[in-house]
């Protein structure tokens, strides 16, 4: 078995909320991410995906738990050590326009991570010029400003900036969600080519299950601050075991033309300030939610072949696919 590149241990991120309960955005997540893989992270809006991503990169304060990168607990690093660690772990944001400084040239934007690490200015320019064609831009783009580019090109700039320091691990947080459908595939293909070429490891966050199906080796499904299912992409799509995963998947068409029974969830999403005791999905579950067992929190249990599910009644796949 490989050694994981990133190990997340019982991570919690609670946002203080004045006098009320804190927002439990991430509430006890444990995950391993292996070298060279793409781990897809899916779940409905507000379930804690971005917070988890930022906490892994130490871009926000965690309440409890550990994140190990290459065996090293990043929460124990000094500011200087963390600065060095930043070379290894980078992020590509959803909205390339909001995340690029409009007053800086492409060369300055992509060069900033290198400048922060003390790379001489001339060398930075040369390295940026080498990077631009790798992300599908031209060397001559180096002195232009973000507003002179299309959305897709701006995301290419964001990707180049993430690559500039030579990272091993990249979190892509909804990297194509703000782009036109017509250019999403180009950006996804670019990320995949770069992964092959540079041996990168990705945590790919999206609410779009067709994207995650295309890019991921494994998929983690998040519901109200917790991982409720984790398996290979093939297993998640062929035999999802958690009713929440089944509901998410039921919304997308199958490639073989057969139809899934659409599962419409009733009831509103509980607040992460006051999640229901026991199973977090209990209040919306269409399965056996009323069983007393569901008042006990189900652990993420191994059910074989690297498939994990947090449900007392992991449903056999037979019941899932309707012919």
In the complex, the residues that contact ligand ADP under the rule CB under 6 A are 15, 23, 25, 43, 45-51, 272
The vertex-58 CA angle with 229 and 236, nearest 5°, equals 15
Q: Shortest distance, CB of residue 242 to ligand ADP, whole angstroms? A: 17
- Select 273 or 303, whichever has its Cβ closest to ligand ADP: 273
Q: Shortest distance, CB of residue 198 to ligand ADP, whole angstroms? A: 26
Q: How far apart are CA 103 and CA 120, in angstroms?
A: 22
Q: How far apart are CA 15 and CA 1, in angstroms?
A: 36
- Select 54 or 154, whichever has its Cβ closest to ligand ADP: 54
- Select 49 or 161, whichever has its Cβ closest to ligand ADP: 49
Give the side-chain half-sphere CA count within 13 A for 94. 12
Contact 62, 180 (CB under 8 A): no
- Select 171 or 215, whichever has its Cβ closest to ligand ADP: 171
Closest listed residue to residue 268, CA positions, set 81, 42, 45: 45
Q: Shortest distance, CB of residue 180 to ligand ADP, whole angstroms? A: 21
The vertex-314 CA angle with 310 and 317, nearest 5°, equals 135
Q: Shortest distance, CB of residue 38 to ligand ADP, whole angstroms? A: 18
Closest listed residue to residue 306, CA positions, set 246, 245, 220: 220
Helix (H) or strand (E) holding 64: strand 64-69
Q: Shortest distance, CB of residue 219 to ligand ADP, whole angstroms? A: 15
Q: Shortest distance, CB of residue 113 to ligand ADP, whole angstroms? A: 24
- Select 35 or 270, whichever has its Cβ closest to ligand ADP: 270
- Select 93 or 320, whichever has its Cβ closest to ligand ADP: 93
The vertex-182 CA angle with 158 and 135, nearest 5°, equals 30
Q: How far apart are CA 299 and CA 6, in angstroms?
A: 21
Q: Shortest distance, CB of residue 229 to ligand ADP, whole angstroms? A: 16
Q: How far apart are CA 168 and CA 73, in angstroms?
A: 16
- Select 44 or 72, whichever has its Cβ closest to ligand ADP: 44
């Amino acid at each position: 078995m490989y050694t994981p590149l990133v190990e997340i241990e019982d991570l919690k991120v609670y946002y203080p909320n004045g006098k009320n309960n804190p927002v439990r955005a991430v509430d006890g997540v444990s995950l391993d991410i292996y070298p060279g893989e793409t781990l897809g992270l899916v779940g409905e809006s507000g379930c804690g995906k971005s917070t988890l991503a930022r906490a892994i990169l130490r871009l926000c304060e965690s309440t409890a738990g550990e994140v190990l990168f290459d065996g090293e607990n990043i929460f124990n690093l000094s500011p200087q050590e963390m600065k060095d660690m930043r070379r290894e772990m980078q992020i590509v944001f959803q909205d390339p326009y909001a995340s690029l400084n409009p007053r800086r040239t492409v060369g300055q934007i992509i060069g900033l991570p290198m400048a922060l690490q003390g790379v001489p200015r001339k060398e930075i320019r040369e390295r940026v010029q080498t990077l631009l064609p790798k992300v599908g831009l031209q060397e001559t783009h180096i002195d232009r400003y973000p507003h002179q580019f299309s959305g897709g090109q701006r995301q290419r700039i964001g990707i180049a900036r993430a690559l500039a320091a030579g990272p091993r691990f990249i979190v892509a947080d909804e990297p194509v969600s703000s782009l036109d459908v017509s250019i999403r595939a180009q950006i996804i293909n670019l990320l995949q080519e770069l992964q092959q070429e540079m041996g990168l490891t990705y945590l790919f966050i999206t609410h779009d299950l067709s994207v995650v199906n295309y890019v991921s080796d494994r998929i983690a499904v998040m519901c109200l601050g917790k991982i409720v299912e984790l398996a290979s992409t093939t297993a998640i799509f062929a035999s999802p075991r958690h009713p929440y995963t089944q509901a998410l998947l039921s919304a997308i068409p199958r490639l073989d033309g057969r139809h899934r029974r659409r599962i419409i969830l009733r009831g509103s999403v509980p607040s992460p300030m006051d999640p229901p005791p026991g199973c977090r999905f209990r209040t919306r579950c269409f399965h056996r939610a009323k069983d007393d067992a569901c008042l006990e929190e189900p652990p993420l249990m191994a059910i074989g072949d690297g498939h994990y599910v947090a449900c007392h009644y992991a449903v056999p796949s037979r019941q899932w696919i309707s012919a």
